[in-house]
Amino acid sequence: MDKLQVLDARFAPVAEGASPLARLCTGATWSEGPVWLRESCELLWSDIPNNRMLSWHPGRGMQIWRDKVDFTNGHVREQGGALLHCSHGQRAIVRTRLDAQGQPQSDEVVVNSYQGRRLNSPNDVVVKRDGSIWFTDPPYGILSDREGHQAPSELGDNYVFRFCPATGALRIVTDLVEEPNGLAFSPDESVLYVSDTSAALRCDGGGNHHILAFDVVGGQDLANPRVFAVVNPGLSDGFRVDVHGFVYTSSEDSVQVYHPDGTRIARIPVPEKVGNLCFGGEAGNELFVCASTSLYRIVLNTLGATA
């Protein structure tokens, strides 16, 4: 495999001592939504078309963690340790409570409608330090039966939402992203990054393949939208941010890394189309990459901004 490419000296300390990219396992159809379980020292991710969640453990390798999972996509941990899923099948954010060993115990629907209308198909989700749940809701899970259940949109548009578990209030925070997909906060939560992948299903060369940045105002509102980075080749399907504020995003042929000022500062070539990624491992410095059929890993000299 090609080596990590440092394109800007500001990334050099992160690349110092980095491991080669390694393929850990393969056998999925489309890999998405990785999340690290520290209790069991394993990575979970979704194989969406096969309607299952997979796990990888350094001792056991790859296993099926759960089958018939209602076409889950993105995942994140809440502060109390519960696992949140974006369920295409249920058109909902779903919570799974885990035991001390990281094993699933119970499921519950967190939110599945807005003003009496069903959500489209929640795609990716993050949790802010105040406990609020922010998620994207594009149409991908209702366009066909491949990654969900074909159905018309009841909302008629695609939004980024903020849900407050304490009050049960669900709010649209922006309708400016044509097809919102991945999202992540900057380390200080002053900026929310949201990708627009409206070019994904367009055959005419139109649509967007960029990441937008929004200022977070008062902890719960968004302002000052601007294009942060245009991702080529391919799309910014999913991404994460490290403690330096560097944004690590998927693309057609690599993980691309951007400085908070929008400069592309590194590239990690991957031999398959990248869907999503996350930081994990016992030290938190392992970048796990979900790419089409496989799971890859590279060890870097940095940590993820969130656990």
Q: Is residue 19 predicted with pLDDT exceeding 80?
A: yes
pLDDT averaged over every residue in the chain: 96
Quick one: three-class SS letters along 154-220? Answer: CCCCCEEEEEECCCCEEEEEECCCCCEEEEEECCCCCEEEEEECCCCCCCCCCCCCEEEEEEEECCC
**What phi and psi values does residue 207 have, to the nearest 5 degrees?**
85, 175
pLDDT digits (tens, 9 = 90+) for 220-261: 999 999 999 999 999 999 999 999 999 999 999 999 999 999
pLDDT digits (tens, 9 = 90+) for 31-86: 999 999 999 999 999 999 999 999 999 999 999 999 999 999 999 999 999 999 99
pTM of the model: 0.97
The fraction of the chain above a pLDDT of 70, given in percent, is 100
Are the C-beta atoms of residues 52 and 73 closer than 8 Å to each other? no
| Residue 74 to residue 35: CA distance in whole angstroms | 8
Question: Which single residue is written with the structure tokens 């990785």?
Answer: 34
pLDDT score of 205: 78
Q: Is residue 100 predicted with pLDDT exceeding 90?
A: no
Tell me if the bond preceding 269 is cis, omega within 30° of 0: no
Q: Is residue 101 predicted with pLDDT exceeding 90?
A: no
pLDDT score of 307: 61
C-alpha to C-alpha distances, 270 to 10, 134, 237, 256, 293, nearest whole angstrom: 22, 29, 15, 10, 12
∠ CA 40-294-196, nearest 5°, is: 95
Bridge partners of residue 149, in order along the sequence: none
pLDDT digits (tens, 9 = 90+) for 170-208: 999 999 999 999 999 999 999 999 999 999 988 787 899
Which helix (H) or strand (E) element contains residue 87? strand 83-87
pLDDT digits (tens, 9 = 90+) for 250-295: 999 999 999 999 999 999 999 999 999 999 999 999 999 999 999 9
Mean pLDDT score, 300-306: 95
Q: Per residue in 22-40, is it b (16+ CB within 10 Å) or e — as a string?
A: ebebeebebbbbbbbbeeb
**What are the chain's domains?**
5-299 (2.120.10.30)
Bridge partners of residue 43, in order along the sequence: 36, 56
